[in-house]
Amino acid sequence: MDKEQTLQKIEELGLLAVLRGPSPELTLKMVEALVAGGVLGIEITYTTPNAAAVVKMLDEQFGDQIVLGMGTLTRPEQAAEAKAAGAKFLVSPHTEAELAKAMVATGLPLMMGALTPSEVVQSRRLGSDVVKLFPGSLGGPSYLKGLKGPFPDIPMMPTGGVSKDNVADWFAAGAVAVGAGGQLCPKSLAAAGQFDEITAIAREFVTAVHAARR
């Protein structure tokens, strides 16, 4: 998929699983459990051990079956590494000029983190295709709705504080998609080997997203 197709697919899915995996092995199993539950947007963060190697393995295993990206980029050199590993989109928790330049140079879809109105505008100007509202838990859906007032044409995706119970509120507030981490794929379940439970939660999340966007 090219850049526009990837962005369209992310919007179509409406949900990205943000995985801060405890180990490469458990992260792979977590993704398998999520995919089994219908979650096909996967973001592997750089806080995951051997994150780039994990993305490479996932790309080889799933290919175009999933939309695979890397998140928590904090250093410019990570952008090219992520693309080489097979990432199809890039996400950072913040917006910083040198990092943004390296991310833009990959030609991949970008989501750079912002919270305040000034940061939202800066993120967009430096190349964010979708502005990552982070941490979304600080302001909740009402804060996103407030931001969409002056910036109706800037696509925004909240991450942090997203659950299956409030996902409808996020979309009603104007989210183009949502990113979910611990609420969608708890590390405790992975550590306990309860991957069937992760799959069940994934199904509930996907159902909630679909219901919210009807």
Write out pLDDT tens, residues 128-185: 999 999 999 999 999 999 999 999 999 999 999 999 999 999 999 999 999 999 999 9
Handedness of CA 109, 169, 19, 97 (dihedral sign): positive
pLDDT-derived band at 210 (thresholds 50, 70, 90) equals very high
Q: pTM of the predicted model, to two decimals?
A: 0.96
Count: domains in the chain: 1
Res 214 pLDDT > 90:
no
Q: Compute the distance between CA of residue 117 and CA of residue 122 in angstroms, rounded to an integer.
A: 9
The verdict on whether omega for the bond into residue 135 sits within 30 degrees of 0, i.e. cis, is yes
Q: Rounded to the nearest 10 degrees, what angle do helices 24-36 and 51-62 cross at?
A: 40
Give the CATH number of the domain where residue 108 resides: 3.20.20.70
| pLDDT score for 84 | 98
Positions marked catalytic: 43, 132
Range of the domain at 43: 3-212
**Which residue in this structure is represented by tokens 């995996």?**
21
